[in-house]
Chain A
Amino acid sequence: MLPDFDKNAAYIWAVYAIGATAILVTALIVIFRARASKSALARAEAQIREEDAA
């Protein structure tokens, strides 16, 4: 199902592979960082609540 390109096919696929991989990896890093920061904030808020209750 892959399109049949001329002699420059390797360059074309390399460009799309690099672009898509870089965007995907960046998106994953951003999303994982967001999740980590969300849980860090939840932990800090829980600690504050415990301190207030004590």
Chain B
Amino acid sequence: MFSWFANPHRFLSLSNWLAPACYAGGLILMIWGMWQGLWVVPKDDYQGGDIMRVMFMHVPTAWLAMASYSALAVMSFIWFIWRHEVADVAAKAIAPLGAVWTAICLATGSIWGKPTWGTWWQWDDARMMSVLFMFFLFLGYMALRAAMDTRQKAARAGAILAMVGAINVPLIHYSVEMFTSLHQTASVITSSGPKMSAVYLWPLLSCALGQSLLFAGLVQTQMRTEIRDRRTAKLRAQLMAGG
């Protein structure tokens, strides 16, 4: 199965229509979800009044930050075991986007924290610190790749870092149960199903799916760019050798 997807030509023809479809679907779902979250759903006084509307932006970015790191680790693993170049291209494309989404998660979480907990940041909060650590892992992954002199070395070093760092993802998820945290325990992704009322749950899921589709579209565009850049570098090397 991996070999089928590993063909760059197959990927280019698939993403040629899939990426725009992801952009369109993502934008529609995000706009609907945010419109519901800001204009339609009633405020929840138990959750601090109107400030709970921040959830429709912050929570999807948090889920996507974790999902993007997981995807980075999986792509790195596939490259490490099967040496499929498209998996390496995907990993390289995911890292900067994952870093952006993690940064949004940290910034929006900090703004939500001030009126809710009375602080922008809590250094001994396990959830905040583990997400901050993930942000540095994304930056470290990109810096490590950039520091290597060949593409193979960059892919190998990056893959090892991404796979080792994957231990942080379950740590983020369970941090609120295992350690001290201002965050509440999970209310959507739980073993007994969502505990949230449907009036909030559907807009939240719409925003989450919308952001995920947009992210998937951007990853595909980044991958197409990387494949083209590699082809351009190869052609330039050919021209230099010929000249």
Contacts and interface: CB of A to CB of B under 8 A. Distances in A.
A37 B39 contact: no
Nearest to B231: A41
Interface in A8-22: 8-9, 11-12, 14-16, 18-19, 22
Interface in B200-243: 211, 214, 218, 221-222, 224-225, 228-229, 231-232, 235-236, 238-239, 242
A12 B53 contact: yes
Interface string A1-44: 00101101101101110110011001100110110011011001
Given A11-B51, A18-B108, A44-B239, A30 B38 contact: no
Interface string B19-51: 000000000000000100011000100001111
Contacts of B232: 37, 40-41, 44
Contact of A37 (B51, B225, B239): B225
A4 B100 CA distance: 30
Given A23-B211, A37-B229, 18 more contacts: A5-B53, A8-B50, A8-B115, A11-B54, A11-B111, A12-B51, A12-B53, A12-B54, A15-B54, A23-B100, A26-B97, A30-B221, A33-B225, A34-B222, A37-B228, A41-B228, A41-B235, A47-B239
Given A19-B61, A19-B104, A51-B242, A30 B115 contact: no
Q: How large is the interface on B (under 10, 10 to 19, 20 to 34, 35 or more residues)?
A: 35 or more
B208 to A, nearest CB: 13
A30 B97 CA distance: 9
B222 A30 contact: yes
A4 B222 CA distance: 39
21 contacts: A6-B43, A8-B51, A9-B50, A11-B54, A12-B38, A12-B51, A16-B38, A16-B57, A22-B104, A22-B107, A30-B218, A30-B222, A30-B225, A33-B222, A34-B222, A38-B228, A41-B228, A41-B229, A44-B231, A44-B235, A44-B236
A5 to B, nearest CB: 4
A18 B50 contact: no
B51 A22 contact: no
B112 interface: yes
Contacts of A33: 222, 225
Interface in B107-150: 107-108, 111-112, 114-115
B103 interface: yes
Contact of B224 (A14, A27, A34): A34
B58 interface: yes
